Amino acid sequence: MLDVADVHTYYGEGYVLQGVSLTVEPASIVAVLGRNGVGKTTLIRTVIAFTPARRGRVMFEDRDITRWPSYRIAKAGMGLVPQGRRIFPSLSVRENLEIAQRAAATDIAEPWSLGRVLDLFPALAERLRNGAGTLSGGEQQMLTVARALVGNPRLLLMDEPTEGLSPHIVAEMKKLVVGLRARGMAILLVEQNLAFALDVADRVHVMDKGKIVFGGTPAELDADETIKKTYLGV
Ligand SMILES: Nc1ncnc2c1ncn2[C@@H]1O[C@H](COP(=O)(O)OP(=O)(O)OP(=O)(O)O)[C@@H](O)[C@H]1O
Ligand SMILES: [Mg+2]
């Protein structure tokens, strides 16, 4: 579904991603872990071409999207749950979702109608007319996921979706991503929450200073005390 091959990404002269490769299979969750500033968000920005790779290649369902404009990648079936939520606080919940629907992918067998998405988020369904800025942090995070889903993605990029959430909401997020995978969704998940990533992911990668320093199953990472201590501080 997604094949990131040896990408090198810069901000001006700042050399951030230094040859990153990974793949995401359909209906699977691949997690990327790493400390602050190692390049996790830059990897997501590279995949969706906000900051395209200067070298290397990103393939999405066998199309080379490395230098496609981001809106075209989104329309092709890639959804983004950005770090820090980025909802429109002055718009209502419904308006936040309707804006995202305008850019939805259309070539999909079972589109995510508003009704189908809201079935997953009963708390949002009750607050459609409320200002999005009045929602709790957990509800705002659920809104960013709902907003991505109405775009009909087959691959979801999630950038630290559990950041700042209470354990109760983290547990809800876990059910949600596992449920999405069961419906066939592929997810590239960037996280600092090791326990969450180990719980939900099929494969995990650890990043440090723009490079992948570990790749394996959650069980293999959990057993590797050196990697956990050196790169994740646990
Ligand atoms: N727009 C930008 N311009 C210049 N440098 C940037 C920009 N965004 C990020 N960087 C730098 O690139 C490096 C990687 O940042 P990135 O945001 O990808 O890290 P991260 O792993 O997502 O961190 P965090 O866990 O804090 O979100 C950092 O050194 C950061 O300062
Ligand atoms: Mg980040």
pLDDT tens for 26-69 read: 999 999 999 999 999 999 999 999 999 999 999 999 999 999 99
Which numbered atom of ligand 1 lies nearest the CA of 44?
18
- Shortest-distance ligand to the CA of residue 12: 1
Q: Is the pLDDT of residue 113 over 90?
A: no
List strands edge to edge, sheet with 155-159: 78-81, 155-159, 186-191, 29-33, 203-208, 211-216
Name the nearest CA neighbour of 141 among 159, 153, 126: 159
Pocket of ligand 1 (CB under 6 A): 11, 14, 16, 34, 36-42, 83, 192
- Whole-model pTM: value is 0.96
First-last CA distance in the chain = 32
The three-state secondary structure class of 46 is: helix
Correct CATH for 2-232 of 1.10.287.980, 1.10.569.10, 3.40.50.300, 3.90.400.10: 3.40.50.300
pLDDT tens for 160-199 read: 999 999 999 999 999 999 999 999 999 999 999 999 999 9
**Pocket test residue of 10, 40, 211 for ligand 1, highest count of atoms within 8 A of CB:** 40
- Shortest-distance ligand to the CA of residue 14: 1
What DSSP line would sit under 81-103, residue for residue?
A: E-TT----TTSBHHHHHHHHHHT
Q: How far is CA 70 from CA 73, 87, 116, 226, in A?
A: 5, 18, 26, 38
CA–CA separation, 89 and 24 (whole Å): 32
The vertex-54 CA angle with 202 and 32, nearest 5°, equals 20
pLDDT tens for 121-151 read: 999 999 999 999 999 999 999 999 999 999 9
Q: Cα(160) to centroid of ligand 1, in Å?
A: 13
